[in-house]
Amino acid sequence: MARVIAISNQKGGAGKTTTAVNLGARLAKFHKKRTLLMDMDPQAHCTLWSGINPGSFSVSIYHIITQNLPLKQCLIEAGENLFLAPADARLSRLRAQDVRLMKSPFLLTREEADSYDFTIIDCPPAMGLPTLFALASASELIIPVQTQFLALERTIELIKNLRVLRQKFNRRLRLGGIVCTMYDPRTNISREVVGRLQRLFGDKVFKTIIHRDVRLEECPAHRKSIFEYSPNSNAAKQYEEFTEEVLKSG
Ligand SMILES: Nc1ncnc2c1ncn2[C@@H]1O[C@H](COP(=O)(O)OP(=O)(O)OP(=O)(O)O)[C@@H](O)[C@H]1O
Ligand SMILES: [Mg+2]
């Protein structure tokens, strides 16, 4: 069964895009899974990271939604087994009236989803229409949480909202898990945040913890995943282990 994973957290800079891009790259290249990376953020970080310049394509995910086009019209091949549904700033223009014209509130049809093993949706840091589309279309939600002060409240809020989202418009949406990011073992706050998440959400917290690593900060500028940019780094090992956990949790 095809898996559609929304990577979301209303908090900015939580590691959503870093997680989406590296999970997508690992699944596609190393596990040979046919993977679709969907950029639902007007900031277009996922698109830029994939080496695609906003402005270099005429059909984006915004047009798919507002003009009821088949998803394949916007897809760009981004690597072996890897496809990108690009975004640009126009996505921020999405309004409720655009949505009313749509035949369905899903970003992709069941057939479209089934033509990939994994669809990974990178969400913006807000609970606006792009995120709602992603959550309506997903089979699971992965929440990256930066292990820092003030990171937790939004996560707890999102998980509380999940019940309502499920009731209102997507019964099959399940919590795939919470992934701790930017962990710094030297700080008490990192340890406290992980401990609190584990106490609150138990085995819904992925065992793999992504540590703070400057190489993860550098690789988007090189348009490379961590596996290409620094394959022997701890960060590559951690995203590799995280991907294994995601595969096992399906
Ligand atoms: N484990 C890490 N170690 C060091 N830097 C990281 C790590 N993960 C992400 N970063 C950097 O932190 C910043 C925020 O990460 P990222 O863009 O993945 O977050 P985001 O949740 O997608 O942000 P936004 O809410 O703006 O979409 C980026 O500059 C990224 O390169
Ligand atoms: Mg992002």
Residue 165 has a pLDDT of 86
Q: Is 176 in the pocket of ligand 1 (CB under 6 A)?
A: no
- The environment of the single-atom ion ligand 2, i.e. residues with CB closer than 5 A, is 16-17, 45
Intervals of the chain under pLDDT 70: 100-103
- Asked whether the beta carbons of 180 and 210 are under 8 A apart, the reply is yes
Residue 2 has a pLDDT of 94
Query: Which one-letter amino acid corresponds to residue 244?
Result: E
Q: Is 14 in the pocket of ligand 1 (CB under 6 A)?
A: yes
Q: Is 222 in the pocket of ligand 1 (CB under 6 A)?
A: no
Residue 223 has a pLDDT of 97
Provide the CA 159 distance to its chain's centre, in angstroms.
16
Alpha helix (H) ranges present in the chain? 16-25, 45-49, 61-66, 96-100, 110-114, 129-137, 152-169, 188-201, 214-218, 226-229, 234-248
Q: Is 154 in the pocket of ligand 1 (CB under 6 A)?
A: no
Protein residue closest via CA to atom 3 of ligand 1: 212
Q: How many CA atoms lie within 13 A of 112 on its CB side?
A: 20
Pairwise CA distance, residues 179 & 142, whole Å? 7
Residue 103 has a pLDDT of 66
Residue 100 has a pLDDT of 67
Protein residue closest via CA to atom 18 of ligand 1: 15
Q: Is 16 in the pocket of ligand 1 (CB under 6 A)?
A: yes
Protein residue closest via CA to atom 25 of ligand 1: 12
